[in-house]
Structure 1
Amino acid sequence: MRNNDIVQKLWGMCDILRDDGINYSDYVSELVLLLFIKMESENIENGILKEHKLPEYARWKQLAAPSNDDVLLRYRKILNLLSESSDRVLAEIYSNAHTKIKESRHLEQLISGIDAIDWFSVKKDGLGDVYEGLLEKNASEIKSGAGQYFTPRPLIDSIIEVLSPKVGEVIQDPAAGTGGFLIAAASYIRAKGNQAKEISTKEKNFQKRHAYIGMELVVETRRLALMNCLLHGIDGDGEGVVRLGNTLGSAGTLLPRADVILSNPPFGTAKGGGGATREDLLFSTVNKQLAFLEHIYRSLKNGGRAAVVVPDNVLFDGGVGAEIRNDLMNKCRLHTILRLPTGIFYAQGVKTNVLFFNKVSDNAKNSTTKVWIYDMRTNMPKFNKRDPFSREHFSDFEDAYGDDPLGNSPRTETGIDGRFRCFDIEKLLDEGRGLDAIWIKDSNVENAEDLPEPAILAQEAIDELEAALLDLNSILGHLGEDIVQ
């Protein structure tokens, strides 16, 4: 039995939850509360964890053992006690955790089903990967809405391959979601370390507790991230690897400066006019992707590097968008843009890119003079749930990027019809299109069938109009004028 088989079996157990009247959106939350207890036990037996994270009363053996008492009452008590644990990370994970299961027989069925799975065959691949596979399965079900928190693993792995994080570096994701970037970075560093030399005890402690830091706004998503990190052997400090808070608010100022930042920030407009409230973010905007981008380049250490997923409008928007782009290109060397294919995000119809840049300094000017753009979108297949893209699709991009994580490898343009070209920044800006360079003739000109759903197009238009109105009102407010209704 492989990881995917186990994920499918776990997903099949959602039928039990449905029979108990539990909503689709709560399936994963219910499963992972149980699954974390089971996997903690499996990790102990397999030697992945050296000691139990869970107290004895909350371990799988006790939960699954036959008993005369009501298993549902016992389970509810376990969740309550864990939320009050003296272990701060456990208390954070189980804060306000509760089950919506109403019938003991359904809980018994879930416990029996999880117990019946042959876990031995996947131990070599890591039980945490099974857990992450369950999160991916949930994200792939568009109607669950979980896709906004999940970045496809092939994209994450490709980004990490070219940025090549190392032992001793602080790695940040200010919009951590379920922790995919942080976990993949840790796995990459472990694999490289195993190929090279054994790291010291001091280095191991740093990697386990201080190397990775993230922030997530949504309580349930942050719970998944903390569990996911623990199952992958990343403890973090007293608060856990992923902190609960709004990066664009005061909590974001507490994130330490990082050597590497990897992120897929949320897109769209902050509703209710609630843009960034931090005084250290100098550009006033309600567009979340722009505010996060400013946080990211300001939070890098000098010499640090970043890869950030952004929608197309970040490349060409005027006004505050242009100001943030110019500030980024002054403080950082923006050396590579990857135009991503359409349809790769489970719950988003927007077109996206990855910006790769290195921090020079907060006082630097004109740090970006040219940028390399790799077009992985034009004349590519229409990826979707039925036709997913894989890591292999990134192999040509990775070869073109080169071995230097700072983008300094010798590079070769692939010609006027090729996918990789170098552009002079001043010339691009003079053309009035920002950084949105398109040069390959599209042999598959979009027709009505290729366009996103009308509802997606309409929502994008609404978001753009709302953002423009809110930005205008912000300016009017500073001028003491009446706002536009």
Structure 2
Amino acid sequence: MNTNANELVQKLWNLCSLLREDGVTYHQYVAELAFVLFLKMAKETKQEDQLPKGYRWDDLARREGMDQLQFYKELLLHLGTKGSNRVQDIYANANTSLRHPKSLNALVKALDALDWYGVDRENLGDLYEGLLEKNATEVKSGAGQYFTPRPLVDAIIAVVKPQAGETVQDPASGTGGFLIAADRYVRSQTDNYFDLTEKQQAFQRRKAFYGVELVPETRRLALMNMALHDLEGELILGDTLSPVGRDLPKADIIITNPPFGTKKGGGKPERDDFTFPTSNKQFAFLEHVYRGLKAGGRAAVVVPDNVLFEENVGQEIRADLMDKCDLHTVLRLPTGIFYAQGVKTNVLFFTRGQKDKGNTKAVWFYDMRTNAPAYGKRTPFLRKHFDDFETAFGEDPYGKSKRKDQGSEGRFRKFSREQVEARGDNLDLLWLKSEELANADELLEPEIIAAEIKRQLQVALSELDALTVASEFE
């Protein structure tokens, strides 16, 4: 993003203060801004033909007072059923959080006053993504759960290497970061699609990338994000753990950061194709991913630590995953890189086998967490921090590059399938000795300590459950 675009992101974010008197939250502000910003961007990029006449930027900007607010409410309803398909998707069931005419007028005037010179179509998407990132980093917004940090997204895409002609699915799309990054990568490999035929270009823009998002407002933000990145892939509003997910076409690549936690009410997925029904969402999504891959398809899935070690159905799903797929790499991520502080996460990289048995021969683990800084506001996490992992992973996106076990003192280790099986298919493998933090000022945040205590309790509870089950059969 150029300097001018960065400045615009900050100025647009600062406009949120204009809406405080209306009681608008950060998350509502980003959605509200999306409605107005889309109109402004359509004008700036000379693409107003996708909007019906009489419901464009100038039609809103020339009004004032209550007339402007009433017209704005009418405009939101009208665009939900008129205009291009993408416009109708973005404005579907749209309504405003603004209650006072002066708030809308201030927002419109502020947008009109900004210097849009030098912000081209390519920068517009990055500009909006910058706003989404600010929303995610703002603790009060609670939007971090919908936004995967850009350095992690780009690192995953860099090793998975999506290619032109492949289908890429994200069954928990959030604000669309993975799909957009995958599209960006393919563009970088094809001279922004100019190396492709017209038919291939149409496939990339409209068919190659698709996903599902459960939350209507988050899907709206994702659609806006995709539109500004010139990406028209289908983004379904629905629940992947319902028949909606079952009916998705199988993909060449699935990349996702699914929601953590338990399904509301403890209910299990409404899927008749799952072998291991569970109310644990991350395990259910993991089963969706490896079942949703084409034979030979590859995946990268962000999961919390408990997915590596939970017993009972967790162990069954891990065993099934390692049978049906080649689970070739597990990346243990450092703490503090997600906006929910203290969450310990990993990325599972695997390839669906041609057959359903015995596909995992060995699992390679890369430990980015032990003796690493606690990343956060004081120590920002950057793209360069993945350099060593990417080198160790190798150039082959299926994990087949020649690799070197770095031994007990290194971060990259290989464990055979037999070794993992002997541990009850527990993938919570650690070998590096944890050292004291070198600097006294690098103390762990309280929430990180709390999360570690919770994790230890989960391990203890899992062991107690196992003892209880065992005693029932004695």
TM-score for both structures, normalised by structure 2? 0.91
Give the deviation of 1:465 after TM superposition.
11
* Conservation of the 8 A alpha-carbon contact between 1:335 and 1:371: yes
Report the counterpart of residue 17 of structure 2 in structure 1: 15
Equivalent-residue separation in structure 2 for 1:195 and 1:53 (angstroms)? 23
User: Partner amino acid for 2:175?
Assistant: T
Alpha carbons 1:146, 1:347 under 8 Å: kept? no
Partner letter of residue 373 of structure 2? P
Q: 1:335 to 1:276 in 2, by over 3 A?
A: same
- Ranges in structure 2 where 5+ consecutive residues have no aligned partner: 470-474
Q: Within 5 A, what are the aligned runs for 1:1-40? A: 1-40=3-42
C-alpha deviation, 1:444, in angstroms: 3.0
- Residues 92/273 of structure 1: CA separation in 2 closer, same or farther (3 Å cut): same
Which residue pairs with 2:58 in the alignment? Answer: 61
Asked if the contact 2:65/2:105 (under 8 Å) is kept, the reply is: no
Residue 452 of structure 1: which of 447, 453, 464 is its match?
447
Q: CA deviation at 1:88?
A: 3.4
1:436 alignment counterpart:
428
Tell me the equivalent position of 2:335. 342
Distance of 1:191 and 1:132 partners within structure 2:
19
- Structure 2: how far apart are the matches of 1:5 and 1:327? 49
Map residues 204-353 of structure 1 onto 2, 5 A cutoff: 204-236=201-233, 241-353=234-346
RMSD of aligned Cα (Å): 2.7
The CA distance in 2 between the partners of 1:434 and 1:252, in whole Å, is: 28
Counting only pairs closer than 5 Å after superposition, residues 368-407 of structure 1 correspond to structure 2 as: 368-407=360-399
Aligned-pair CA distance for 1:34:
1.0
Q: Distance in 2 between matches of 1:454 and 1:409?
A: 37
Q: Is the 8 A contact 2:341 2:447 kept in 1?
A: no
What one-letter code is carried by the residue in structure 1 that aligns with 2:107?
L
CA contact (8 A) 2:343 2:448 kept: no
Decide which of 99, 102, 112 is 1:102's aligned counterpart: 99
> How far did 1:137 drift?
0.2
User: Using the alignment, how far apart are the partners of 2:51 and 2:394 within structure 1?
Assistant: 44
Identity %: 52
Return closer, same or farther for 1:42/1:470 CA change in 2, 3 Å cut-off. Answer: farther
CA gap of 1:272–1:470, structure 2 versus 1, over 3 A, is farther
Q: Which amino acid aligns with 1:202?
A: K
CA contact (8 A) 1:269 1:466 kept: no
Name the SS of the counterpart of 1:234 in structure 2. Answer: coil
Spell out, residue by residue over 1:30-84, the C-alpha distance to the aligned partner (whole angstroms, 9 max, x if none): 111111221222233xxxx6x7322232322322235698111111111010112
Give 1:342 shift: 0.3
Runs of 4+ in 1 over 6 A off after TM superposition: 445-448, 457-471
For each residue in 1:444-468, what CA deviation from the matched residue of structure 2 results, as whole angstroms up to 9, or x when unmatched? 3799845535775687799999999
Shift of the 184–470 alpha-carbon distance from structure 1 to 2, 3 Å rule, reads farther
Cα contact 1:2–1:121 (8 A) shared by 2: yes
In structure 2, how many angstroms separate the alpha carbons of the residues matched to 1:280 and 1:448?
A: 46
Q: Take 1:112 and 1:392, find their aligned partners in 2: how far apart are those partners? A: 40
Contact 2:122 2:229 in 1 (8 A): no
Could you give the per-residue CA deviations for residues 226-278 of structure 1, whole angstroms, max 9, x where no partner exists? 11111111113xxxx21000000111122110001000000111121222110
Following superposition, the deviation at residue 402 of structure 1 comes to 0.9
- The change in CA–CA distance for 1:56 and 1:196 in structure 2 (over 3 A counts) is closer
Q: Which amino acid aligns with 1:134?
A: L
**In the alignment, is the contact (CA less than 8 A) between 1:147 and 1:348 conserved in 2?**
no
Contact residue 268 and residue 463 of structure 1 kept, 8 A: no
Query: C-alpha distance in 1, partners of 2:372/2:328?
Result: 23
- Could you report, residue by residue, the CA deviation over 1:286-343 in whole angstroms, capped at 9, with x for unpaired residues? 1100000000000000011000000111111110001101111111101011100101
Which amino acid in 1 is paired with 2:279?
Answer: V
Could you report, residue by residue, the CA deviation over 1:89-131 in whole angstroms, capped at 9, with x for unpaired residues? Answer: 3222212211121222221111111112222233275201100
SS in 2 for 1:302: strand
- Distance change (3 Å), C-alpha of 1:460 and 1:83: farther
Specify the alignment match of 2:472 in structure 1: none
> Structure 1 468/232 Cα, relative in aligned 2: closer, same or farther at 3 Å?
farther
Given the superposition, is the C-alpha separation of residues 109 and 68 from structure 1 closer, same or farther in structure 2, using an over 3 Å criterion?
Answer: closer
Q: Write the deviation string for residues 388-413 of structure 1: whole angstroms up to 9, x where unpaired.
A: 20101011111111111111111122
Q: Which amino acid aligns with 1:78?
A: L
The TM-score normalised by the length of structure 1 is: 0.89
* Contact 2:326/2:350 (8 A) holds in 1: yes
User: Aligned partners of 1:469, 1:251: CA distance in 2, in Å?
Assistant: 36
2:125 aligned residue = 128
Amino acid at match of 1:246: D
Q: Which amino acid aligns with 1:159?
A: I
3-state SS in 2 of match to 1:378: coil
* Alpha-carbon separation, structure 1, partners of 2:268 and 2:407: 42
Which whole-Å deviations, capped at 9, do the CAs of 1:175-218 have from their partners, x for residues lacking one?
00000000111111111100896100100111111111110000
2:148 to 127, 148, 151: 151
98-107 or 202-211, which deviates more = 98-107
Structure 1 alignment gaps of length 5 or more: 476-485
Task: Give deviations 1:344-400, integer Å, cap 9, x for gaps.
Answer: 110253210000000113x42110010111111111111113422010101111111
In the TM superposition, residue 143 of structure 1 has moved relative to its aligned partner by 2.0
Aligned length: 462
Q: Which amino acid aligns with 1:329?
A: M
